[in-house]
Amino acid sequence: MSSTIYFMQECPTCGRQLRIRVTYLGKLVVCQHCQATLEAVDPDSPTDSPTDWEESSSEILRRADRLLESASHLRSSPR
């Protein structure tokens, strides 16, 4: 009898914890919650650098803030 082995990985888009089969390591998978595509990576792998992810997520948040600010300026400007 064969049992499937899973690992947990956070979706970089919605932040939910995903249960991913180990057979999908290194492959693209889709988050069933937000439909984002992500690469299944070993959370304990030394090549997986959390600092890189934190830097890229910070840049995404800064860009989102800039876009929201520009959208609010468009709404408040007279036409």
The mean per-residue pLDDT over the stretch 43-59 comes to: 60
Is the per-residue pLDDT at 48 higher than 50? no
Percent of the chain at pLDDT above 90? 37
Cβ proximity of 27 and 39 under 8 Å: yes
> Looking at residue 27, which CATH number applies to its domain?
2.20.28.160
Q: Over the stretch 17-30, which tens digit does the pLDDT of each residue have?
A: 999 998 898 899 99
DSSP per-residue letters across 3-51:
---EEEEE-TTT--EEEEEGGGTTSEEE-TTT--EEE---TT-TT--HH
Angle ∠(24,37,55) on CA atoms, nearest 5: 105
Residue 45 banded pLDDT, cuts 50, 70, 90: low
Q: Which domain holds residue 24?
A: 6-76
Counted domains in the chain: 1
Residue 9's DSSP bridge partners are: 18
Is the per-residue pLDDT at 38 higher than 90? yes
Does a structural domain hold residue 67? yes
Does a structural domain hold residue 1? no
Q: Which helix (H) or strand (E) holds 68?
A: helix 50-76
This prediction has a pTM of 0.51
